[in-house]
Amino acid sequence: MENIIDRFVRYIKYNTQSDEKSIIHPSTHCQVIFLEMLFKELTDMGLSEISLDENGYLMATVPSNIEKEIPVVAFLAHVDTSPDVSGKDVNPQFIENYNGEDLHIGTEMIMPVDQYPELKKYVGQRLITTDGNTLLGADDKAGVSAIMDTLQYLMANPQVKHGKIRVAFTPDEEIGTGMDLFDAEKLGADYAYTIDGGCVGEFEYESFNAGDAKIEITGHNVHPGYAKGKMINALEIALEIDSMLPTSERPQYTEGYEGYYHLISLTGGVEQTSMYYIIRDHKRDIFESRKAKVQEVVDVLNKKYGKELISLKMKDQYYNMREAIEPTMWVVDKAVKAMKDLEIEPIIRPIRGGTDGSRLSFMGVPCPNIFAGGENFHSRFEFISCQSLEKVSQLIKKIVTE
């Protein structure tokens, strides 16, 4: 029986970064290598209905060992790590009995407690950090490890009673395409939980409504010495567009339920410029008004210049999962009760982002998000406490055996 800490350390050694520029699914072959390894481990554990399809979705079943029919629960975690920071050659560092002082990451980086006050929660615990050269990969290999630890426990202890359990490991969550080809009917669950949140106690059943906007601007370039009345500078129009969106409604100025417009990229020159925004809000009506605002800005400027210089393409990415979960709030209540039974204080708050569960909930499987235990995801300052990782597994076991 492998303990969860050793499993986690083994898993993070696999580089599974996704790639937003890829046109294949999964976006990187390294994810497939990791999924194939998990497939073998599930087979060796003795699970049934194990499948790994060509799109990188791995599913398996722990059969029910009780006579009565109860709703089928599923647990999901994504195998990819963020493209934001390298996930290659992860070299974890252990901090024994953390003393509450500034935390040294590798040999050169320091996390000052005054800048990272969350460190104070972990005094006396055993921490796993990066060496400062990569992210750690707790997002979401902590979730993968906790699910696999639970499966190992259940298969080794058939006297523990539970209903039918489904698990699914997915690719490409970090680049927003993880559920694009997911088969919710094949999953065959009545409800589910993603194990993809942050610190112990975090529990989320609200997410952003999310969309994006791609803007193309066509200018007219001539020699600047003879440009009067002729030049149309696409870059300057891009700056004009950004100035017409509320400055106070950018990510760096918002929190809680406040949405935003976020300019992700601005590329090009005088002749041709491209802009890419993401648009977010927890309330659907405000989300729709944000999209309308972007369209209004484009229309006003096209009218101003008397030409269709600006083209806009918008699409919705996912919606606030609360809409789909509210009719089955017992799914939320069940997880909250399990936490309280384990003396874990639930920290219920909206996700300022989305999870695979956001989309799965709108596929007919209500799917809140449970903590995976880590801190500072997508960063060289990422860390997780061994005690937190163990609590994730304890919570999953509690949910399935209630």
Buried b vs exposed e over 55-80: b needs ≥16 C-beta within 10 Å?
ebbbbbbbeeeeeeeeebbbbbbbbb
Residue 353 pLDDT greater than 90, yes or no: no
pLDDT value of residue 107: 82
pLDDT value of residue 73: 98
Report the distance separating Cα 203 and Cα 263, nearest Å.
29
For the chain, the domains span 4-206+320-401, 209-318
Strand, helix or coil at 17? strand
Q: Helix, strand, coil proportions of the chain in percent (round to 5)?
A: 35, 25, 40
Cis peptide before 26 (omega within 30 of 0): yes
Q: What is the pLDDT of residues 46-80, one digit of tens each?
A: 999 999 999 999 999 999 999 999 999 999 999 99
pTM metric for this prediction: 0.90
pLDDT value of residue 370: 97
Name the pLDDT band for 176 (thresholds 50, 70, 90): confident
Report the distance separating Cα 102 and Cα 120, nearest Å.
10
| CA torsion angle 236 242 243 245 (round to 10) | 150
- Give the chain's mean pLDDT: 96
pLDDT value of residue 108: 84
Catalytic residue selected from 173, 174, 212, 281: 173
Ramachandran quadrant class, 365 (left: phi over 0; alpha: psi -120 to 50; beta: rest): beta
Buried b vs exposed e over 90-113: b needs ≥16 C-beta within 10 Å?
bebbebeebeeeebebeeeeebee
Residue 287 pLDDT greater than 90, yes or no: yes
For the domain made up of 4-206+320-401, give the CATH fold: Aminopeptidase (3.40.630)
Share of the chain above pLDDT 70, in %: 100
Closest to 60 in 3D by CA, of 78, 79, 46? 46
Q: Is 249 a catalytic residue?
A: no
pLDDT value of residue 180: 93
Residue 145 pLDDT greater than 90, yes or no: yes
Closest to 81 in 3D by CA, of 23, 143, 157? 143
Catalytic residue selected from 80, 202, 206, 281: 80
Closest to 113 in 3D by CA, of 124, 132, 100? 100
Name the pLDDT band for 395 (thresholds 50, 70, 90): very high
Report the distance separating Cα 29 and Cα 19, nearest Å.
10
Residue 328 corresponds to which tokens in the numbers above? 């089955």
Q: Is 173 a catalytic residue?
A: yes
Residue 118 pLDDT greater than 90, yes or no: yes
Beta bridge partners of 104: 110
Residue pair 109/381 in contact (Cβ under 8 Å)? The answer is yes
Report the distance separating Cα 345 and Cα 361, nearest Å.
25
pLDDT value of residue 106: 84
For the domain made up of 209-318, give the CATH fold: Alpha-Beta Plaits (3.30.70)
Least confident of 100-114, 186-200, 328-342, 377-391: 100-114
Residue 227 pLDDT greater than 90, yes or no: yes
Q: What is the pLDDT of residues 186-222, one digit of tens each?
A: 999 999 999 999 999 999 999 999 999 999 999 999 9
Least confident of 115-124, 279-288, 326-335, 351-360: 351-360
